[in-house]
Amino acid sequence: MSDMFTIMFVCTGNTCRSPMAEGAMKVLLEKKCPGKFKVISSGTSAATGFPATLYAIEAAKIWDADISAHQSQGLTSDLLEKSDLIFAMTPSHYNEILRLKKDVADKTYLFKNFPNPSSKGEGLSDPIGQELSVYNETFLEIGEYLGKYLDEIVKRIEDK
């Protein structure tokens, strides 16, 4: 493991939810603990090398997060192993993470449950194929949750 605290967001195609969450998290953490973290994302069914959707890129601009250079990547056990904190966007993503690598259970959370370790609960809806307004709502929902979690995440980064 590197000295950097690595946070990973996992969704399906790694072109909407997880890149938006990655961008939002970077914006929040740059203000709190610059240089101490790395934020990545991946998808359980992602092809490699695709950009974030145009609407995801637009929605991320709400917080001045630039995800225009994003390149999708598939979820791998190597990425899981290198991550210190893993957020699954839905219960099915959570289950896929543990199917791939059981020993990351102690650092994997359903996005809307953090810091509760339960995999039971509500997932974050996928905006793929919908209007920009839906992407904006999804991005703001991501931001709302990350804002609630920020102090706990910063504490974990500082404690590494």
Give the pair of three-digit tokens for residue 119.
């995999």
Which residue among the candidates 33, 84, 126, 156 is catalytic per the annotation? 126
Let me know: does 137 contact 58? Beta carbons within 8 Å: no
Q: Which helix (H) or strand (E) holds 133?
A: helix 132-159
d(CA 107, CA 127): 26
d(CA 76, CA 58): 28
Dihedral over Cα of 127, 132, 134, 137: its sign: positive
Which residue among the candidates 11, 66, 99, 103 is catalytic per the annotation? 11
- SS3 state of residue 71: coil
Tell me if residue 156 is catalytic: no
* Site of tokens 């920020």: 150
Active site residues: 11, 17, 126
